[in-house]
Structures are given as C-alpha cells and as structure tokens.
Chain A
Amino acid sequence: MPKWKIYTPDGVQDILFDECHLKRSLEQKLRTLFRSCGYNELETPTMEFYDVFASDGGAMPQENMFKFFDQQGRILVLRPDITVPVARITATKCRDAAYPLRFSYIGNVFRYNDYGGGKQNEFTQAGIEVLGVSTPESDAEVLSVAINALKATGLESFQVDIGQVEFFKGLMEETGLSDADTEEVRKWIDRKDYVGLEEFLNRHDIREDLKKLIFDLPGFFGSADVIDRVEAFKLNKRSREALENIRQVLKILDDYGMGQYVSVDLGMLRALEYDTGIIFRGFTYGVGFPILTGGRYDRLVGEFGKECPATGFSLGINMIMMAMQRQKVSIEKPETDSIICYSEKGRKTAFELCDELRRQGLVVELDIANSTPESAVIYAAAKNIGGVISIVDGDTVEIRYVQSGEVAAVQISDLLKR
C-alpha cells in the first residue's frame, strides 16, 4: 500500500455524521438569516489566480497560501478567503449595479495556519459583505447581522469588540512617524506588548501627550466610556472623526437593542493597508481564537479597477462548533424513527408504507440486509433507531419498540391515517 494512502494531510479533517449534521444545520440557519436580511448568496471558485490575492498590504502573506500552477504555468491559489473574490466580482461584474450591494457566502477557505486549538488549514467561513455605501448605518447593519448570526448558532455568552483603525492612523499622522515605524507601533499595540511599545517610544522623539496616549492605547478597551477617556486628549481631525464614527455605530446598535453585546477596543489594530474604519472581532468562552472578524475595507475593491466602499464580516463555522462543544450547548442529532423489515411477499406493501411514513415526515430506513425482526431490533438499538416495523401481511404490521421492548400489532390503515 502506498505510504500515505490511509492518512489525511496536515490541517484538514473529516467531518462525520452528528458533527456534519450540526454543521449543515448551522449553515442553514445562517443562510436563512442572511437571506432574510436581503443578502444574495454567491459562490466563488475554490481556486483563483495568485494575483487576485497578492497585495503589498500583507493582509494575507504569500507563505500562508496554498499555491500550484495551471497548464500555462500561471500561479494559482486555493482561496484563502472569500472577501477578496467578492471585491473582484464587485469591481468587474457589478460595475453598474444599484448600490448598496448585499452579498453572502458560505464556503471553505484554505490557509497554511499554525493549526491546533481548533484552527485548521481548511475551514468553513460564512459571511456577508455590504458594498457601495460608507455610512455608519452600513457598519451597524453588518454588526447587527453578525450578532444575530452568533445568536442563531445558540451560543449564549459572546462579545463583539469594536475598534476604529482611523483613530490610530490619525495619531500616527500627528507623530509624523514613517510607515515602517507606524507598522512597528501597530504590532506592539495589537499584541498589547507594553514592553516593546515603551522601548520604541523612548527611542523616538514624539510629543509627550501623544506618547502617553500611544503607550496607554493597548489598555483602551472595555465599555463605551473608553471613548470619553480618550477624548480628553488633544487629537487631530482624523482621530476625532474616528471616535465620532464609533459613537454613531454604537448608538445605532443601541437602537437595534444590541448594545449589551458590544464593547470598544481602540487598541485592536490588524492590517493597516486593508482596514479603513470600523473593525471588530467576536469572542466566546472555550476557544482561544476569535470566532468572528469583520470591518470596513474601502480600498480593496479599488485594487480591481473600481473604487467602492465596503464592509463585511465572516465567522468561522468550525470554531463555533468547537465553542458549542466546549460550552456543552445542546445540539440536535440526526435521528432515525423506524426501520421496516419485510420478506419478498410483503415487499410492495413495505415500500408503500415506507413512502407514506416518509411523506409524514418520519425518517425511515428499509431493511436491505434482509434481517429477521429480532436481529433488526439489535441493529436498531445500536443505531439508536426508535422502532422496528415488520410486515405481517397486506393489512397488519408488528411494531417493536426498541427502548421498551414492547411489541404491538397494528393495522397498516391506522399507520397511514396519522
């Protein structure tokens, strides 16, 4: 046997039975939610040209992409996310569409991750994108759908942190630091690395009040009063507008009745090239990684030839499933109600009965192993099937209830009437 025949590659997994059932049902709930909010689902190719995802911003480093070649030697990648293809579609195929566009997707993406702790190299993302508007209403809508999505999964305690990268960019403008230095500061703050941050600030000549604010930035998270605290500082227009923007979004979320789910984190700073406004992450107990990320990315679509503001979010379905399992959220399992046993003589009756019961909404298996009713009970017990129905003659069946062991003779006409 070839060496790797019975194994799966690193970072991918089989999703079986109960788990798969749960995953599909989550996906269905999300799909229904997205559609009810007016989002149109789309599907993008699993593979794309590398160029689609290549950018200087480093939002997705090339080391993290699965690459291969097409027949002409062009570089292909397995899509590392779906937002970028959506941007490509928006700029190329929806140039003249009426804005705002509302798109949703559910699909697998591929990244070389440090997998573990629930992280995989192949995982399923569900998300939405709103394109063509840059109002606080649009950011709030995306956040509200995100929160409703988390609620729909059945997770009870979760939290969504909201940041605004323009606030930080405004601060950096004020310091006059170079792009490279700004990136360094971003990294220290995003990691809440006070040591590195302090060391950096000591090396650079920055206005004292700004220095203090930047040093405290990693700690500016919590309830909305964080914004008041920061506003006490002397800020430039860009930073002020960013704070005003968060305020507006929080206010709209209050009107949605979702204020209790959100808090503020001004020290949340991801990719400065990519993010251009409100950004957010969702957390819950039991998993060490965010279960949801999102935000505004007004420049991305422009890279594909048409300027268009955009915002959206995606959530990691596998991560959510892990959180549900850790938090012991009760989940529905696939159940089979009955199995029908028959001999050749009763076969036609069995099939008719089976059809009818299925039409009534029951899950019914046929005994294709030709077992006796007694051995079918053993099989049914192992598979958690409720009852064994065996055809006696054209009018009567015997029902064996697996749990209680009861046997009852029942008229077929009675079964059909239910």
Chain B
Amino acid sequence: MRYLTIALSKGRLADLSIEMLEKLGIDCSEYRNESRKLIFTDEKNKIKFFLVKPADVPTYVEYGAADMGVVGKDTLLEEGRHLYEVLNLGFAACRMVLAGPSELMGKLDGLNNKRVATKYPRIAREYFEHKRRESIEIIKLNGSVELAPLVGLSEVIVDLVESGRTLKDNGLVILDTIADISARMVVNRVSMKMESERISGIIDGLKKQLQ
C-alpha cells in the first residue's frame, strides 16, 4: 500500500491535530518523542506526517507532496491554492478583521487614499477590491501590525484578532469582520480521488469527534 502523507502546521495547530489523529488510532508516537526527524511514520496504517511552516502547508498539498494537511483558514485565504477544503476542525478560532483608530468608525468611505498595513496582502486586497470595490495601497509587514496606524505608516490594518485585547490596548477598534478563521483540513484534488477510501475514512472519523 502507498503511504498517505499528511502535512501539519508547526506549532499549536500540529499539537491539536495530532491529538485528534491519535483518537482515530493513528500512531503518532514518533512525533511525541520530540526527535529531530522531519518525517514521522505510522507503519501500521501506512501514514506519514511532516511538519512545515503554516504558510507552506497549502503548497505541499496543492502540489501533491502531501495528500492532506491541517492549516488555518487565514493561510488558505492568503495562499489561494487549488485544494479541497473538506472540514472545519474548529480549533484555533479567531477572526480576520479590518481595524483602525476609533475616529474612522463609519467614516472609512470618506477617506481618499487608504494605506492598509497587513501580514495578509492578498486577503486585504481581495476584501477591498471585491467587497468594498476600492483600490488601496498595501503595506506588507511581518509582525506588530497594530503599530502601523499609531506611527502614521497606514490608516488601517487587516489582521487576525483573537480576544481583541491588543487592539484595545492600542486604541484601535474593529471596523469590519472579513472572515471567521479556524483550522481546516485540506486535501489534494487528485489524492481525494485516487485515495478516496482512506481519506474519507479519516475525514469521517474526525467529523465524528467534532460532533
């Protein structure tokens, strides 16, 4: 039998995914052993796992280097890959929002040139172009996006928000919610067909856990 390969997002997402997979009887002990191996194998079920940066999971799955993967919806939206998104795993829930200083509340349309700071340029652009039908200037940052409006780098930001605490502490408010985010199971389009039985088995097993 061919190995089924699963790509997991390094970090908390991987831990939570492994927990769910173990409940399905998949042997993840190699992962638990915290070795430096990049690929973990469950010989009995013929399943391989590997850990990669979250932003790379959709790439591995689209190209078929992994048959399936677990990744945040934010990454999926930003990467825009051709994949099957088959299951909302529910964990790592948060929101993708448009935020800015409270003075802008309800006055966003009046602003002529909008500069948007974000780690998610594609999501920001899609949101403004399709939902608000506006052209914007994107400023790509790699962290502490909330800082940008405070120091005049941008008018607004597009970012992930969990509790909203960081925004509040910095005098920013949510101007609009762009999408609800959580961990998703994704499947390569070819694997879904060629390995339909085994993949459906895993999906159904996970679905039952979620109920």
Contact = CB atoms under 8 A, between A and B. Distances in A.
Interface in B52-91: 59, 61-65, 73, 81-88
A221 B193 contact: yes
Interface in A276-304: 283-290
Given A191-B83, A192-B85, A290 B187 contact: no
B196 interface: yes
Interface in A97-115: 114
Contact of B184 (A117, A159, A195, A289): A195
B154 interface: no
Contacts of A194: 85-88
Interface in B25-72: 59, 61-65
Interface size grouping (class) on chain A? 20 to 34
A288 B61 CA distance: 8
Contacts of B184: 195
Nearest to A192: B84
A139 interface: no
B63 A116 contact: yes
Interface residues of B, number: 26
Nearest to B80: A114
A283 B193 CA distance: 8
A208 to B, nearest CB: 21
A42 to B, nearest CB: 30
B65 A283 contact: no
A265 B84 CA distance: 14
A318 to B, nearest CB: 14
Interface string B186-211: 01111111101000000000000000
Contacts of B63: 116-118, 288-289
A273 interface: no
B190 A192 contact: no
A284 B196 CA distance: 13
B64 A289 contact: yes
B192 A192 contact: yes
A288 B65 contact: yes
Given A288-B189, A288-B191, A117 B85 contact: no
B107 interface: no
B62 A117 contact: yes
A248 to B, nearest CB: 23
Contact of B190 (A116, A193, A287): A287
A191 B196 contact: no
Contacts of A191: 82-85
Contacts of A288: 61-65, 188-191
Contacts of A289: 63-64, 189-190
Contacts of A192: 84-86, 187, 192
Interface of A: 114, 116-118, 157, 159, 161, 191-196, 218, 221-222, 263, 265, 283-290
Given A116-B59, A263-B193, A289-B190, 11 more contacts: A117-B65, A118-B63, A191-B84, A194-B85, A195-B73, A195-B184, A284-B190, A288-B190, A289-B63, A289-B64, A289-B189
10 contacts: A117-B62, A117-B65, A159-B193, A159-B194, A192-B84, A194-B85, A195-B88, A221-B193, A283-B194, A287-B190
Interface of B: 2, 59, 61-65, 73, 81-88, 184, 187-194, 196
